[in-house]
Amino acid sequence: MVQLTLLNLPDSRPLQRWDFQSQSSIKIGRSPDNDIILNDQLVSRYHVELTLIPSRSGSSWQLVNQGTNGTFLNGVLVSRSVVPDDSLIQLARDGPVLKFQVQAPANLPPAANLSTASKLVTPPPQLNLCSHEGNLPGNLFCMRCGQLLVPVQQVIRQYYVLRTLGQGGMGTTYLAWDKAGSVGQPRLLVLKEMNANMAQLAKAQELFEREARTLAALNYPGIPQYYDFFVESSKKYLAMELIHGQDLEQRVLNMGPVAPQQAIDWMIQVCDILGHIHSLNPPLIHRDIKPANLMARYRDNRIVVLDFGAVKEIGTLPGTRIGAEGYSSPEQDLGQPCIQSDLYAVGATLIFILTGVAPIKFYRRCGSEYKFDVSNCPTITPQLQEVISLACEKKVSRRYQSAKDLSEVIATCR
């Protein structure tokens, strides 16, 4: 049994308690279809998922962050982590805190749990691992002979899965090694697996396949390169370029707000990529621009735009509402996005990376309508405040009309 207790800060007084007797997955967020519903402005609609993972040494619970404002496990920002008993889970910095406790069912001894779990696990085939000494911690391959240093989790077609990178509502993302090397030499890549629970949903399949088609058709700096799309054991997979970097959400949550000059440079790069997809025939709208989908590449600090699963063509019929709270424009919330909807998200992203605070906290009534009010933010210059105000106007006609227009104005704020 798992017990989660909502604590009152700072005295840790229990406010509410939930008991889960047999569930293997617990979803937490603001949306009414979560297992635990927390009506807090800092909590995302689907903020975090706890999943029971069986193993040979005994079952454990794993936390997967899905929230825009991050999740902290015992004070440490995590995206995916095993959750020890008696842990504290905080949804967003300064957000609500849940105490996580595990209790073995009274009618089932721990040994029975372990025995049952072990029967569910089939070890993957393994390659010979290198035993050379002197390799740095975290290395995947030996510096002397080039052989693997870590065990293979599973093999999917020709791809050797080495590590799980993330997990969300749509599926799981793996770090994989293409040993055969479809380009003539072995390479590391990202392998996305569609969530089995979503496989029967037509919309989920459409979005997953749309990302594959979009990446296959795009060849532009700042967009991950497409490698492969296939179906294996009734599951869909997408293989793409591995980008070594850190997304802007993690960057800001770990290191704090960035300097205005850095924010300007990054958003100019985002506008360049958006300008490219907006200029295609037919134009494409990303629909999910947010800090978590913008990665700063380590080798050159250049921005790479991720997650093209929500891409939509201009002129198609209104569709399902897609977009992160605080970054999604009013018309996109109504299922009627346009290219200016992506520019709205750029303005909201500027708010987050310059303040470290979710943009929704600055969304308030100003006169006769609601809008972002960043006039009292000391980390946002007056010039950038004006850019954000115009990019995030409620009416599309009042905003910058193209990514080039927005980029040129942002450049003048240097």
Which of 225, 241, 257 delimits the end of a domain? 241
Task: Indicate the DSSP class of residue 141.
Answer: B
Is 135 among the domain residues? no
Look at residue 404 and tell me whether its pLDDT is greater than 70: yes
Look at residue 239 and tell me whether its pLDDT is greater than 90: yes
Is 48 among the domain residues? yes
Answer yes or no: do 258 and 229 share one domain.
no
In this prediction, residues 66-82 reach a mean pLDDT of: 85
How high is the pLDDT of residue 136?
A: 72
pLDDT digits (tens, 9 = 90+) for 22-50: 888 999 998 888 899 998 888 988 899 99
**CATH number of the CATH domain containing 229:** 3.30.200.20
Cα 7 to Cα 15: distance, rounded to the nearest angstrom = 6
Is 110 among the domain residues? no
Q: Which of 95-109, 201-215, 326-340, 393-407 ranks highest by mean pLDDT? A: 393-407
Q: Which amino acid is at 399?
A: R
Answer yes or no: do 283 and 367 share one domain.
yes
Answer yes or no: do 167 and 88 share one domain.
no
pLDDT tier at 120 (50, 70, 90 boundaries)? very low
Is 127 among the domain residues? no
Burial bucket for residue 273 (CB in 10 Å: 0-12, 13-18, 19+): buried
How high is the pLDDT of residue 202?
A: 64
Answer yes or no: do 313 and 230 share one domain.
no
Lowest mean per-residue pLDDT among 2-11, 89-98, 104-113, 344-353: 104-113
pLDDT digits (tens, 9 = 90+) for 190-217: 999 886 554 445 666 777 787 788 888 8
Q: What percent of the chain has pLDDT above 70?
A: 86
Answer yes or no: do 374 and 274 share one domain.
yes
Lowest mean per-residue pLDDT among 190-199, 280-289, 299-308, 359-368: 190-199
Task: Indicate the DSSP class of residue 392.
Answer: T
List beta partners, residue 60: 53
Nearest to 372 by CA among 387, 355, 388: 388
Answer for the pair 392, 400: CB distance below 8 angstroms, yes or no.
Answer: no
Answer yes or no: do 253 and 225 share one domain.
no
How high is the pLDDT of residue 388?
A: 97
How high is the pLDDT of residue 57?
A: 59
Give the residue numbers spanning the domain of 208: 154-241
Task: Scan for tokens 């842990």, then name that residue.
Answer: 87
The pair of three-digit structure tokens given for residue 242, joined into one six-digit string = 């591995």
In this prediction, residues 272-292 reach a mean pLDDT of: 94
Is 258 among the domain residues? yes
Look at residue 97 and tell me whether its pLDDT is greater than 90: yes
The pair of three-digit structure tokens given for residue 72, joined into one six-digit string = 């902290």
Q: What is the DSSP string of 282-346?
A: S-EE----SGGGEEEETTT--EEE---TT-EETTSPP------TTTS-HHHHTT---HHHHHHHH
Is 109 among the domain residues? no
How high is the pLDDT of residue 286?
A: 94
Cα 358 to Cα 328: distance, rounded to the nearest angstrom = 13
Q: Are strands 25-29 and 36-37 parallel, antiparallel or unpaired?
A: parallel
Is 89 among the domain residues? yes
Cα 326 to Cα 332: distance, rounded to the nearest angstrom = 12
Answer yes or no: do 250 and 325 share one domain.
yes
Is 178 among the domain residues? yes
If one compares 210 and 3, the residue with the highest pLDDT of the two is 3
Which of 189, 211, 241 delimits the end of a domain? 241
pLDDT tier at 267 (50, 70, 90 boundaries)? very high
Q: What is the DSSP string of 56-112?
A: TT--EEEEEE--TT-EEETTEEESEEE--TTEEEEESTTS-EEEEEE---TTS-HHH
Answer yes or no: do 351 and 383 share one domain.
yes
The pair of three-digit structure tokens given for residue 100, joined into one six-digit string = 């996580």
Lowest mean per-residue pLDDT among 25-29, 57-61, 197-201, 299-303: 197-201
Q: What percent of the chain has pLDDT above 90?
A: 44
Lowest mean per-residue pLDDT among 121-130, 215-224, 230-239, 247-256: 121-130
Answer yes or no: do 282 and 235 share one domain.
no
pLDDT tier at 220 (50, 70, 90 boundaries)? very high
How high is the pLDDT of residue 110?
A: 40
Task: Count up the domains in the chain and report the number.
Answer: 3
In sequence order, what are the residues at sequence separation of 6 or more whose Cβ sits closer than 8 angstroms to the Cβ of residue 117? 54, 55, 56, 58, 59
Answer yes or no: do 176 and 281 share one domain.
no
In this prediction, residues 373-386 reach a mean pLDDT of: 95
Q: Which of 164-173, 210-219, 245-254 ranks highest by mean pLDDT? A: 245-254
For residue 2, give the 3-state DSSP assignment.
strand
H/E run at residue 25:
strand 25-29
Answer yes or no: do 169 and 272 share one domain.
no
pLDDT tier at 111 (50, 70, 90 boundaries)? very low
How high is the pLDDT of residue 321?
A: 67
List beta partners, residue 232: 235
- Dihedral pair phi/psi, residue 183, rounded to 5°: -105, 15
**CATH number of the CATH domain containing 86:** 2.60.200.20
Answer yes or no: do 193 and 283 share one domain.
no
How high is the pLDDT of residue 121?
A: 36
pLDDT tier at 90 (50, 70, 90 boundaries)? very high
Which of 241, 260, 280 delimits the end of a domain? 241
pLDDT tier at 106 (50, 70, 90 boundaries)? very low
For residue 146, give the 3-state DSSP assignment.
coil
Nearest to 24 by CA among 117, 154, 136: 117
**CATH number of the CATH domain containing 368:** 1.10.510.10
If one compares 145 and 373, the residue with the highest pLDDT of the two is 373
Q: At what angle do helices 260-278 and 382-391 cross, to 10 degrees?
A: 30
